[in-house]
Chain A
Amino acid sequence: MSEKKKHRGRFQAQGDGLEASETWNQKEPLTKRKGLTLLNKLRNKLSDKDRKLREKQFKDAERFINGSKGGVDSPLRQTFKNRKTKDARVDIEVWSGSAFVSLLALILLLLWLLQH
């Protein structure tokens, strides 16, 4: 990852021999929409087998993103584990700043910052 910007984190699929991730590193908080896009990008990176092992866990991660009220601040870690396997799971990690804000909230924040 290059220069560290204010809002950083990653989605990770790991366990059962897999480790894959999608990170973000940006000046504005990650929106829900972009978060869902990155999560889906991670999902599509996986082999069919690895994706199937984590299908419900990806849905749980989506539900968390969509349900975040006003977003979430760091540090945050959510783990969604497939309990029918040894340790196949999907993690959400918010390392710094905020994530999963609504687009409207982000626009309002940017307008406020421009005025101050």
Chain B
Amino acid sequence: MATSTLNDHPLLYPTFLEDYRTYHLVEAYWRRRLDQLLADSGITYHAFYNKRYANGQYIYDANPIFDAYFPARHKLVRIIQFYPESGDPLIEAYLDHWPVKEMDPGKRPRPADPSKSLAPIPELVIDLALTRATAEQALQLIQQWIVEDRPEEEMEGLVEEVV
């Protein structure tokens, strides 16, 4: 994979916003890394957000580059990837929520626990420039959020520590 250096943190797939093939390679990269993380857990996921315009064309802005809903946890992960400007922190994360009650009923996700069907979905949002180090930090957060199923209150603190 092509790399370029930015302040000693080589970016992975640096042309991801410039050519569609590389963009899709990055999407595949995240799916592969998440599959590896979840391999022994039995936890499944599916994409959640729409990433196309109504005319069918793909939205190639990496906002998000990857997202996943986990029915067993009724939780979301969303990764926004950017090309950094000088001085930008390479990774940040925070928690948010998605209001399921406001969705088209036919598009609502189906949590493993039906009692959560209309509960807002807590979401881990990771905003990063992709390097080997930020990928590992992101996966560590996802490990804590999804595999270990840490509660929101605890994640608030963990997010501050890692990034």
Contacts and interface: CB of A to CB of B under 8 A. Distances in A.
Contacts, number: 75
Given A83-B92, A95-B99, A95-B102, A74 B53 contact: no
**At the interface, is chain B mostly helix, strand, loop or mixed?**
loop
Interface in B47-105: 48-50, 52-55, 57, 59, 61, 63-64, 78, 80, 82, 84-85, 87-89, 92, 94, 98-99, 102-104
A74 B52 CA distance: 10
A101 interface: yes
A41 interface: no
A26 to B, nearest CB: 13
A105 B80 CA distance: 30
B21 interface: no
Interface residues of A, number: 29
B50 A76 contact: yes
B123 to A, nearest CB: 9
Given A9-B102, A75-B98, A77-B64, 8 more contacts: A8-B102, A75-B49, A81-B92, A83-B88, A83-B127, A95-B99, A96-B107, A98-B54
Interface of A: 4, 8-9, 15, 64, 68-81, 83-84, 87, 93-98, 101
Interface of B: 48-50, 52-55, 57, 59, 61, 63-64, 78, 80, 82, 84-85, 87-89, 92, 94, 98-99, 102-104, 107, 125, 127
8 pairs of A and B residues whose beta carbons are closest in the complex: A70-B55, A70-B54, A95-B102, A69-B53, A71-B54, A96-B104, A83-B88, A69-B55
